[in-house]
Structure 1
């Protein structure tokens, strides 16, 4: 097992104890209430919006610059039967988002695969050699 190279310093903010009262009516464990407070959800309303999200809370996709170009390119790749490669990440949210993207693309009719780099041999961030290899194998 790898030894941590970091010294973890845990901070406990006792001033949040008063805010726990705001979350008293939530039907969650005390530790979940503390996590919610740490993440800025210091009212029952904010906590409920986080715990019971609705679609209207999502960011408008139109706010992303050039999103239409990306959507059109993916649609064209699906229509033309091109191979799509989802370049993922190896942490928990990276694997989860890679899985969701691959499933969504496949349900849309895409010929799709994924690549998750090795953190130890390929490091962090995009890897030029991985992109070159994917292109050699037919991904555009």
Structure 2
């Protein structure tokens, strides 16, 4: 049982599934959930029936990482830490895959979004450099 200051009622945490952290800041009581929710695994839709086709549709070279995922369920339940430590997937691709799995859960089929080109403009020489160049 966690006892807080007198102005707050006693709060007991008995659920082993939900861990809550109670902090007292001034007159406010902030409750934060620390539990890890089970990620939902959506059913394959249309032509997306395995991790290889899903990752190829995501683009940005993710198709070559398809052999690192065992099956459809593993693709949608793998955490960022697992992708980093056990599979060795680099950060940008890992974030890209996690973003697209979340979009797919929300009903958006993956499509290739190319990396935007960055154009650099050349620095215009200063007035003093032009004078030195002429002389």
**Smaller-chain TM-score bracket:** under 0.3
Larger radius of gyration: 2
Which of the two has greater helix per residue? 1
TM normalised by structure 2 equals: 0.23
TM normalised by structure 1 equals: 0.22
